[in-house]
Amino acid sequence: MPLFSKPLESKQQLRIPLLIAASVILLARSRLAALVNVSRVNPLGPDKATEKDLKNARQQLYQDEKDGSKTLLLPFGGRVNKIPIQPIPDEVFKRDAASFMPVPKSHKPNVDKLFMKQLVAILRIVFPSLTSKEVGLLLLHTFFLVTRTVLSVYVAHLDGRLVRDIVSADGKGFLRGLGWWFALAVPSSYTNSMLRHLQSKLSLRLRTRLTRYTHDLYLSAAPNLKYYRIAREGGLEGIDQYLTSDIAAFCESLSTLYGNVMKPSLDMFIFTIQLTRKLGAMGSVLLTLNYMATASILRAVTPAFGRLAAVEARLEGEYRTGVGRIGRESEEIAFYGGGGREQHILWNAYLRLVKHINSIYKIRVAYEWTEDYVIKYMWSAAGYALISIPVWIATKRSVGIQAPTPSDKPENAVADRTENYISSRRLLLSLADAGGRLMYAYKDILELAGLTTRIYTMLSTLHHLQPLPEFERDENKIEFQQAVIGIPKRDARLGETALVGNAEEGFDFGDGSDAVEGPHSERPLVRDLNIRVERGEHLMISGPNGVGKTAIARVLAGLWAVEEGKVVRPDRGFTGVFVVPQRAYMVTGSLLDQIIYPHSYAQFKKSGKTEHDLIDILKAVHLAYLPSREGGWETVKEWKDVLSGGEKQRMGMARLFYHKPKFAVLDECTSAVSTDVEGSMYQHAKDLGITLITISHRPTLTKYHTRLLTIVGDAAGSWNLTMVGTAEERMGLDREILMLESKLAEVETWEKRVKELEILLGAGGAKSTKS
């Protein structure tokens, strides 16, 4: 029965105004909300923050809440936006770890069971509950997808109706149809823009979820310290690429894919129903055959887009890491004049990426050619054949189409047939379009499989990187008992899949056996270390380069575990063991932030310390001139570049004096500071009651310590411990005794000589008198 014919019109007429009314409400919802909220709006204007509030928010960054959550203060658009951040509970991570079992090294990203498992595991993170905002957005998105398909069906029917009115020269009907056309255009265009908007919004929300989850895992405190261990022990290189581009690309791909699969699937379902009504049983069978033929042709020619996408992301990461390294080390490179060399290295990474992308393009040409041929031309031809079936059949039987409207005039019959042809054709074109998009979506699914593998690999590595073993705590001493210290080994189960090569040269899926396994290093750096440092004793560690002095500091800081034996130490942190490394790290932020790091401004305020105290600290490290030179405490600069090497190291010592821990591990942290300032800083640290464990080659520092630990650097990992004060004193006394004895031994000689001289003088005097 042709649509918009008299009996249907009343139903249609009821439905369409309802649809339009719903659209108008949707369109005007923000205005309506404003009307409702009018009583709540500040009559003096928008609630803008004062300059002081903004400054405070910039300094403070976040507020600690009583329930353990944090409120981020985000100055934006003249207001201070307060964003509550609930920490992800440990139970959630523990529960999720089981869903993120390490990927087998030989895994090839593809649309298979493993892909579904990986995707579901990630989906549980981005859609944490059925009541989450993300699910709400998805439902709204689905609503608009359905609306668009329903509207398309109406448009197809209206299209047919308009042509029918033209063919039958029904002016009134034509004008009425045109009126509906414009009315339908309002919700249709609104739906389209809402779809795009919701898709982008969903993608951003998914990204935020995934980023927060990953950050919470990645920047985990001791004993996890995954940000420090993920590359070396977890075997995951270029984490920045995973955290930034890969997460963004995955979320974009996921949200786009939902629309790209849902919409054409829905279209195909609804259009197929509509069409089969017109085409009858035979038409439906032919339509199904057409779908099956297309699917099998395209499946046969589809390349491994998943693997291609995964390799592309990895190569992109390598290039990105190269660019980042040059930015970070620009000064050193410039000193060496290494620009040319770096350019070659960077160019090499870029060319590998481009070569791979180019080969993807080449592979795509053949695929897209087949796809276009099948979808555009095969489907259209099939479509024409299908539409014409009822016409041929009807021509033989009577004038009209599948369900001919009883018409008293032959021109009405022609008009009916035209209407049906036009709406069927439009439906069929939409169907072909939907089919095409669904096939394209298959390629997108394959690409999503590649990105899913990358995100899954990152998350499984983060989840399964074992926490460092617990150590025994004692707030007043540091002790090594039979400790064996060696370089931590990589966990061979974790890290990237062994996917190397590129699209042109082919992929090589190693079994990951090249990864070093086992908890122990072949040759420990230090073996059977036994030492105990009580508060007030000061230990100096020395030895040749590369023997493992910093390795001891890493163990003390809880960055490395000992291979054997036991370590007793206070809690790591501001009050227990505080490590000052050789390369002073400068944090993004103000001058004040540099001193109080890793404290936040809020913690600084809470500590009761004042800017006056900070000036005293700066005086102790001979940097009191900095606040006035740099324009005050709040000045934000790239401190890494602004401060000299020595200034940065002194800033590191300023941090130590700010936090005043019980124990300080000073790892060559004053190597660029002049000896006089260095000495006064060491003395100041001791005066503050800080116990020093110093790694240094400078003999001038020995006098600030009571014992000296020397790492020999032999294959056996030997070491020896001597008392500094006593040895020196003994040496000094020995020297004095030797000196005095040697002087006493000379006394006889001197007395003899004096006598000789007197005799000589006496004899000479007589001679001269005589003459």
Ligand X SMILES: Nc1ncnc2c1ncn2[C@@H]1O[C@H](COP(=O)(O)OP(=O)(O)OP(=O)(O)O)[C@@H](O)[C@H]1O
Does the footprint of ligand X cover residue 78 (CB under 6 A)?
no
Which residues, 6 or more positions from 684, have their beta carbon under 8 angstroms from its beta carbon? 620, 657
Footprint of ligand X on residues 209-238 (CB under 6 A)? 232
- Give the shortest CB-462-to-ligand X separation in angstroms: 19
Question: Considering beta carbons, is residue 124 or 698 the nearer one to ligand X?
Answer: 698
Tokens of 489: 């080994």
Q: Determine the interface stretch with ligand X among 195-203, 268-276, 542-550, 717-725 (rule: CB under 6 A).
A: 542-550
Which residues, 6 or more positions from 751, have their beta carbon under 8 angstroms from its beta carbon? none
Does the footprint of ligand X cover residue 540 (CB under 6 A)?
no
- Give the shortest CB-486-to-ligand X separation in angstroms: 9
Footprint of ligand X on residues 642-701 (CB under 6 A)? none
| Binds ligand X by CB under 6 A, chosen from 222, 357, 487, 624 | 487
Does the footprint of ligand X cover residue 549 (CB under 6 A)?
yes
- The DSSP annotation for 28-59 comes to THHHHHHHHHGGGS-TTSS-PPPHHHHHHHHH
Question: Considering beta carbons, is residue 96 or 563 the nearer one to ligand X?
Answer: 563
- Give the shortest CB-510-to-ligand X separation in angstroms: 21
Residue 570 CB-half CA count within 13 A: 19
| Binds ligand X by CB under 6 A, chosen from 550, 590, 594, 696 | 550
Does the footprint of ligand X cover residue 485 (CB under 6 A)?
no
Does the footprint of ligand X cover residue 149 (CB under 6 A)?
no
The length of the chain in residues reads: 771
Q: Determine the interface stretch with ligand X among 198-206, 215-223, 261-269, 539-547 (rule: CB under 6 A).
A: 539-547
Nearest partner of 581 among 671, 492, 714, 701, judged by Cα: 671
Question: Considering beta carbons, is residue 438 or 579 the nearer one to ligand X?
Answer: 579
Question: Considering beta carbons, is residue 124 or 232 the nearer one to ligand X?
Answer: 232
- Dihedral pair phi/psi, residue 79, rounded to 5°: -120, 160
| Binds ligand X by CB under 6 A, chosen from 551, 577, 626, 708 | 551
Cα(771)–Cα(118) distance, integer angstroms:
122
Q: How many C-beta atoms lie closer than 10 Å to residue 390's C-beta?
A: 23
> Number of residues in contact with ligand X, rule: CB under 6 A?
10
* H or E element, residue 499: strand 499-502
Cα(290)–Cα(193) distance, integer angstroms:
32
| Binds ligand X by CB under 6 A, chosen from 84, 179, 469, 546 | 546
- Give the shortest CB-232-to-ligand X separation in angstroms: 5
Chain centroid to Cα 204, Å, comes to 14
Does the footprint of ligand X cover residue 2 (CB under 6 A)?
no
- Dihedral pair phi/psi, residue 663, rounded to 5°: -125, 140
Footprint of ligand X on residues 278-307 (CB under 6 A)? none
| Binds ligand X by CB under 6 A, chosen from 545, 644, 742, 749 | 545
Cβ atoms of 188 and 151 within 8 Å: the answer is: yes
Tokens of 482: 């039979």
Does the footprint of ligand X cover residue 49 (CB under 6 A)?
no
Select the residue whose beta carbon is closest to ligand X and give its number: 550
Question: Considering beta carbons, is residue 286 or 487 the nearer one to ligand X?
Answer: 487
Does the footprint of ligand X cover residue 103 (CB under 6 A)?
no
Q: Determine the interface stretch with ligand X among 176-184, 243-251, 417-425, 540-548 (rule: CB under 6 A).
A: 540-548
Footprint of ligand X on residues 344-383 (CB under 6 A)? none
Does the footprint of ligand X cover residue 525 (CB under 6 A)?
yes
Does the footprint of ligand X cover residue 617 (CB under 6 A)?
no
Cα(1)–Cα(416) distance, integer angstroms:
9
Q: Determine the interface stretch with ligand X among 190-198, 324-332, 356-364, 548-556 (rule: CB under 6 A).
A: 548-556
| CB contact burial 723-738 (16+ within 10 A = b; e otherwise) | ebeeeeeeeeeeeeee
Tokens of 154: 């109406």
- Dihedral pair phi/psi, residue 550, rounded to 5°: -65, -30
Nearest partner of 291 among 359, 392, 375, 222, judged by Cα: 375
Cβ atoms of 568 and 479 within 8 Å: the answer is: yes
Tokens of 595: 């001193």
Does the footprint of ligand X cover residue 548 (CB under 6 A)?
yes
Does the footprint of ligand X cover residue 401 (CB under 6 A)?
no
- Dihedral pair phi/psi, residue 485, rounded to 5°: -110, 125
Binding site for ligand X (CB under 6 A): 232, 487, 525, 545-551
